[in-house]
Amino acid sequence: MKIHEYQARKLFSRFDIPVLPGEIATTAEEAEEITTKFKVPVYVKAQVHVGGRGKAGGIKFAETPEQAKEAAKSILGMDIKGYKVSKVYVVANDPKLIVTSESYLGLILDRGKKAYCFMACAEGGVEIEEVARKTPDKIFKIWIDAAVGMMPFQARKLAKFLYKDPSMVKQASQIAANLFKLFRCLDASLAEINPLVTFKTGAVCALDAKINFDDNALFRHSDITEMYDPEMETDNDRKAKEMNLSFVPMEGNIGCIVNGAGLAMTTMDVIKYYGGEPANFLDVGGSSSPEKVKTAMELVSSDKNVKSILINIFGGITRCDDIAKGLLIALETLKDIPPVIVRLTGTNEKIAREILLQKGFNALSNMEEAAKHAIKVAEGGAL
């Protein structure tokens, strides 16, 4: 799960990681009031779950409360990569605090090493993946044993990589230790400070905050679950979530409904292999009830680019007859459904074929044949 920058900063404060004062505003007037209260210039920052906000015009500097009001007015309601901005974060930017260095601190799980991986880089504010690819030597890494946890010497090592000044080293190692504590206590999957800055005063401070959480652990963190922002999801995302479907929309014109993540990816690959373009990834999961299939049909056919739908089922736990029943319900209740090509193999395949045949559907049994047929139909061929 992702959260907003302002929520991540609140969590930073809770774990004693220094941040600059900031408040959230949903109207231009609120942004103005906050700036008046701060008595210093501010940054007005769009709160959406995507990177590249600055480039998209979602972050503006304001010298005065009036400017902050104007900035908020222009940012609120903006569309950034498909997300509508309804909140801005107003962050104090005291001109007396002169930034003397920017660096990066990040914590992730290393799935291969089965350990935590803490990364530091003396270049802050940059795209860290870019640095990792082009100049991997610039990133300093420490692996932390899961059972042992982070030891103070490891925090010092990270801090010493970034700073020489003993006071800065002390501050930064405390920040690193606290970030680890946060990561572990809250079951994060990623925590980043980018940039971590030093001021002329000698203080070390987190200028930005990013935290992602492990969805699997949310059941034990009700405070984090409450931070979920439904506005950051499309109607289709929400529908998919409710029915426990994995759905990722794409650019093509052939809708896919498949059971199992690996087979769903493979179905997209097969379509592409034969010259078609998949419109989505959709995994209906293991025990797929007819209702799930109906929702899947609704999601896939809501994309107006979709010219044919390929249902590819290898029945193991999934029963082919459940899929067939769900498909018939969908065809009866939904309007404007593009032509559907069905491939069924496995558990209860025979019953499923009979159910479909009654409605004039001839289910195929080979995935590659079915994919080729779906491409032909999408190009205007006969069903």
Partner 1 sequence: MSIFIDKKTRLVVQGITGRDGAFHAKQMLDYGTNVAAGVTPGKAGQNIEGIPIFDSVEDAVKITGVNTSVIFVPPAFAIDAMYEAADSGISLIVCITEGIPTQDMLILHDYLKKKNVRLIGPNCPGLISPGKSKVGILPGHIHREGNIGVVSRSGTLSYEVVYSLVLAGYGQSTSIGIGGDPVIGTNFIDALSHFQKDPETDAIVLIGEIGGNDEQESADYIQENISKPVVSFIAGKTAPPGKRMGHAGAIITGGGTTAKDKIEKFESVGVPVATLISKIPGLLKERLG
- How far apart are the C-alpha atoms of 54 and 51, rounded to whole Å? 8
Q: Which residues bind partner 1 (CB under 8 A)?
A: 109, 111-112, 114-116, 129, 132-133, 145-147, 184, 187, 189, 214-217, 219-220, 246, 248, 250, 258-266, 268-273, 278, 281, 283, 286-287, 314-318, 345-347, 367-368
Q: Could you tell me if 181 and 15 are in contact, meaning their C-beta atoms sit under 8 angstroms apart?
A: yes
Judged by beta carbon, residue 153 or residue 273, the one nearer partner 1 is 273
Judged by beta carbon, residue 160 or residue 239, the one nearer partner 1 is 239
Judged by beta carbon, residue 33 or residue 237, the one nearer partner 1 is 237
Question: Closest separation between CB of residue 94 and partner 1, Å?
Answer: 35
Judged by beta carbon, residue 99 or residue 317, the one nearer partner 1 is 317
Question: Closest separation between CB of residue 234 and partner 1, Å?
Answer: 13
- Report the phi/psi class of residue 324: left, alpha or beta, with left for phi > 0 and alpha for psi in -120 to 50: alpha
Q: What share of the chain is helix, strand, coil (3-state, %, to 5)?
A: 40, 25, 35
Amino acid identity of residue 214, one-letter, is D
Which of these is catalytic: 6, 83, 104, 163? 104
Q: How do strand 59-62 and strand 210-213 relate by DSSP bridges?
A: unpaired
Distance of CA 13 to the CA centre of its chain: 23
Q: How do strand 308-315 and strand 254-258 relate by DSSP bridges?
A: parallel
Question: Closest separation between CB of residue 308 and partner 1, Å?
Answer: 17
- How far apart are the C-alpha atoms of 333 and 295, rounded to whole Å? 11
Judged by beta carbon, residue 90 or residue 211, the one nearer partner 1 is 211
Q: Could you give the residue ranges of the DSSP H alpha helices within 186-273?
A: 222-225, 235-242, 261-273
Length of the chain: 383
Which of these is catalytic: 5, 30, 32, 192? 192
Amino acid identity of residue 255, one-letter, is G
Q: Using the 8-state DSSP alphabet, how is residue 259 labeled? A: S
Amino acid identity of residue 149, one-letter, is G
- As beta bridge partners, residue 108 has 117, 190
Judged by beta carbon, residue 197 or residue 264, the one nearer partner 1 is 264
Q: Which of 203, 13, 3, 20 is nearest to 101 (CA)?
A: 203
The question of whether 192 is a catalytic residue gets the answer yes
Distance of CA 204 to the CA centre of its chain: 29
- As beta bridge partners, residue 73 has none
Question: Closest separation between CB of residue 189 and partner 1, Å?
Answer: 7
The question of whether 104 is a catalytic residue gets the answer yes
Question: Closest separation between CB of residue 262 and partner 1, Å?
Answer: 2
Question: Closest separation between CB of residue 146 and partner 1, Å?
Answer: 4
- How far apart are the C-alpha atoms of 253 and 276, rounded to whole Å? 8
Question: Closest separation between CB of residue 360 and partner 1, Å?
Answer: 27
Judged by beta carbon, residue 22 or residue 276, the one nearer partner 1 is 276
Residues noted as catalytic: 104, 192
